[in-house]
Amino acid sequence: MKRIQSACLNQTIHFQLKDHIGQAAAANHVKGEYENYKRQLERSHTKYKILEENTQNDGSIIIKIKKQLNTYDVGAYLD
């Protein structure tokens, strides 16, 4: 029998601008969406580590994140 002892998920997420609103408003919306995403992780007690965060010239944000998968132990993945 085998069991998962620890697991972690690596993701690259692109918070993109909405097309139907102005550039400044879209950039502010992206920042808000990104902050909400981090708050959601905190509220759900998901362990995570943001490895890289890049704001693009157009105001969109790309992050590389390592986070807990379901309720599996993350072991030393986030150290």
- pLDDT tens digit sequence for 1-56: 888 888 889 999 999 998 888 888 889 999 999 999 999 999 999 999 999 999 99
- How confident is the model over 55-79, as a mean pLDDT? 88
Question: Is the CB of residue 29 less than 8 Å from the CB of residue 21?
Answer: yes
Give the Cα separation of 44 and 54 in Å (integer): 24
Residue 60 in tokens: 């969109």
Give the Cα separation of 3 and 18 in Å (integer): 43
17: Cα separation from own chain's centroid: 16
Query: pLDDT at position 56, please?
Result: 93
Query: pLDDT at position 38, please?
Result: 97
59 SS3 class: coil
Quick check: pTM over 0.95? no
Residues 6 or more apart in contact with residue 34 via CB below 8 angstroms: 15, 61, 63
